[in-house]
Amino acid sequence: MVSKEKIEKSFLKDETLDSEVYSQLSKIENNGEIRKLLQGLAAIEKRHVRVWRALLGKRKQGIGRPIFANLKILGMLLVRRLLGVAFVVKFL
């Protein structure tokens, strides 16, 4: 059985990665409306990160950027090129 703390830490890592993906996508997006939407999604995910950090309190020690985050972000950018930004947003 997976502990509650492990699940919370997993959510924190996911929110952190999603925030970074949205930020990177917004930087390469040419359409102004979509760029603003992506920036908004990144901001929402950053708020989620703050919530999870607050819930974890002192237990959040040792939780940083997810391992292979750069590779995952690069993968999402590639998927964006192949399938479009809407697919990535729905996937995340």
39-55: pLDDT as tens digits: 999 999 999 999 888 88
Which H/E stretch holds residue 32? helix 32-56
Q: What is the pLDDT of residue 92?
A: 83
Q: What is the pLDDT of residue 14?
A: 87
Q: What is the pLDDT of residue 42?
A: 95
User: What is the pTM (predicted TM-score) of this model?
Assistant: 0.81
Contacts of 28 (CB under 8 A, 6+ apart): 77, 80
Q: In which residue ranges of the chain is pLDDT below 50?
A: none
Residue type for position 82: L
Query: Domain boundaries in the chain?
Result: 4-91
Q: How many CB atoms lie within 10 A of CB 22?
A: 25
Please tell me the total number of residues recorded for the chain in this structure.
Answer: 92
Q: What is the pLDDT of residue 68?
A: 77
